Amino acid sequence: MLHIKQELLAALATELDKLAPGSADRAVFESPKVAAHGDFACTAAMQLAKPLKQNPRQLAEALCAALRATPAFGQWVDALEIAGPGFINIRLKPAAKQAIVRDVLAQGTAFGTQPANGQRVLVEFVSANPTGPLHVGHGRQAALGDAICNLLATQGWDVWREFYYNDAGVQIQTLANSTQLRARGLKPGDTDWPEAAYNGDYIQDIANDFLAGKTVKADDRAFTASGDVNDLDGIRQFAVAYLRHEQDLDLKAFEVRFDHYYLESSLYTSGRVDAAVAKLVANGHTYEQDGALWLKSTDYGDDKDRVMRKQDGTFTYFVPDVAYHIAKWERGFTRVVNIQGMDHHGTIARVRAGLQAAHVGIPQGYPDYVLHTMVRVMRGGEEVKISKRAGSYVTLRDLIEWTSKDAVRFFLLSRKPDTEYVFDIDLALAQNNDNPVYYVQYAHARICSVLAAWAEKDGGQVSQLASVDLSPLEGPQAAALMLKLAQYPAMLTAAAADNAPHDITFYLRDLASSYHSYYDAERILVDDVTVKQARLALVAATAQVLANGLAVLGVSAPTRM
């Protein structure tokens, strides 16, 4: 059906260009707000009426007459109807809708994907400093990042997944001090326990393993403890490796992987920060005032100039970010997506200003940002705030253990990132239609049970359905389901362009609803072989698209529930 839609759009573009030269770009199909009005809608006549100084309805009539005479519309369109002031509603012939079933079965897991575009994209996400377990906010970021990576891959991008963290800042020093205090026998609540120290039980675990001289290994580092309570630098390195290992376990449970871990400290040791500052100074975009070095960020749309180097000689937060993004550009990433919490909103303008002021060829608007709000967790109608393991917040691993990896991923992706989200544990555990991930997965499992019953009774295989006669698929529920299947590729493309994996969750819920309506309206395993095979082909195609969409989200497609 996708090639059919392209044929129809090409014919529409040709006829629009005849009516008004240069208007071929107005050849766009929309989905009618009311399904009974047709399969596609076209508003081009209303758009062209004013520049052509014609009545929009009369223009629509002329356009319809021209379209009916084209081979594409003659072959695939059942009716063209004019509504209101000039809407054109298009009703497809059954064969046009049925073609999508064959497309899905032929392409399988590749349905909806685009060929490689030869461009690289770097997605930076999670990027949590190793000072404690990953919290549910990190979980939302992990779900978003992984799904956006999968989305971009479906559109032909060469995707690189990167985790950036600081292994030598103030927070890391607090971690080392807290661990050393625990190793010396102190604990939260003691008179000498600092207010700024970390209080979670995991600090005691780190201290115990350090004293035992253990070796810890993470994906990007390993360290053996000296066991010497006075070895503060050793404690720091051990604690960082220990918590990076813990983060790896969290991410493994969430089935999230990374291609590279990038250390903020390396930006200093490699000279990248100094080089970036030197570029900005040499290009005349900085000035000295009150003992500090300032960036003229207002020249690039910021609301005020920003301090780069403070009076004490240290750099402010955004300076290593500028150096880091210059490195991303120099590594060949023409597109970069940063997934961060809302608290990073203030750094966007200054980082982009720094990149423009560096004059290294980076385009305006680089990088892209996806900012997300935090997550509240509810259970039994009350908010859950405390985790004994973390000390003051619910961890990602808590959420996975209380529910499941699939529920956490689907739920955290079911709203726009900048929308506050309340994770309802009771709903995530419910096995009913109110639970969105259960509803979608049940649709897939329900289809698999039908196909299994057919295989057991008749020895049928899904591969046999690719060339069956689809003409029996003419009922309204079947037509609605086929049109929903046909929307999947365009939905993926739009979601990737907008960094919007929540669009997939909405689509999958609608697709599952269309399938359940079809299943309730038409029995599939009927005696008539032709009808049965056509219906089996339709539901097999539906299962394939459900599985494809769930895979982009990183959610499983169970065959039984």
Residues of the chain with pLDDT > 90, as a percent, come to 90
The Cβ of residue 365 has, within 10 Å, a number of other Cβ atoms equal to 10
Query: What's the pLDDT tens digit per position in 88-139?
Result: 999 999 999 999 999 999 999 999 999 999 999 999 999 999 998 899 999 9
Domain boundaries, the chain: 2-92, 170-253, 433-553
Report CA dihedral (446, 452, 454, 457) to the nearest 10 degrees: -140
Check residue 33 and give its pLDDT.
79
Q: Which CATH class is domain 433-553?
A: mainly alpha
Check residue 390 and give its pLDDT.
59
Check residue 32 and give its pLDDT.
84
Bridge partners, 369 (sequence order): 338
- The DSSP output letter for 297 is G
CATH of domain 2-92: 3.30.1360.70
Residues 140, 141, 143, 148, CA torsion sign: positive
**Residue 362 or residue 39, greater confidence:** 362
CA angle 151, 154, 160 (to 5 degrees): 65
Query: What's the pLDDT tens digit per position in 35-83?
Result: 778 889 999 999 999 999 999 999 999 999 999 999 999 999 999 999 9
Q: Tell me which residue has tokens 């979980």.
A: 139
Band of residue 387 on the pLDDT scale cut at 50, 70, 90? low
pLDDT at residue 392 is higher than 80: no
Check residue 241 and give its pLDDT.
97
Instruction: Of 521, 5, 551, give the one whose Cα is nearest residue 255.
Output: 551
CA distance linking residue 219 with residue 247, whole number of Å: 10
Q: What token pair was written down for 485?
A: 């299947």
Check residue 113 and give its pLDDT.
97
For 206-232, b/e burial (b = at least 16 CB within 10 A) is bbebbbeeeebebbbbebebbeebebe
Query: Do 2-92 and 433-553 agree at the fold level?
Result: no
Residues 6+ apart with CB under 8 A from 96: 1, 4, 76, 77
Check residue 389 and give its pLDDT.
58
Residues 367-381, mean pLDDT to the nearest whole number: 95
Q: What token pair was written down for 41?
A: 């809608």
Strand ranges (E), 283-420:
286-289, 292-295, 306-309, 335-341, 368-372, 375-379, 382-384
- 412 Rama class: left (phi>0) / alpha (psi -120 to 50) / beta: alpha
Mean of all residue pLDDT scores within the chain: 95
Query: What's the pLDDT tens digit per position in 407-424?
Result: 999 999 999 999 999 999
Check residue 1 and give its pLDDT.
73
Query: What's the pLDDT tens digit per position in 167-176?
Result: 888 899 999 9
Report CA dihedral (225, 229, 234, 237) to the nearest 10 degrees: 80
Check residue 388 and give its pLDDT.
54
- 104 Rama class: left (phi>0) / alpha (psi -120 to 50) / beta: alpha
Band of residue 160 on the pLDDT scale cut at 50, 70, 90? very high
Check residue 48 and give its pLDDT.
92
Residues 315-325, mean pLDDT to the nearest whole number: 95
Band of residue 391 on the pLDDT scale cut at 50, 70, 90? low
pTM, 2 dp: 0.91
Q: Do residues 356 and 326 lie in contact, with contact meaning Cβ atoms separated by under 8 Å?
A: no
Check residue 34 and give its pLDDT.
80
CA distance linking residue 439 with residue 484, whole number of Å: 17
Check residue 169 and give its pLDDT.
84
Query: What's the pLDDT tens digit per position in 193-235?
Result: 999 999 888 999 999 999 999 999 999 999 999 999 999 999 9
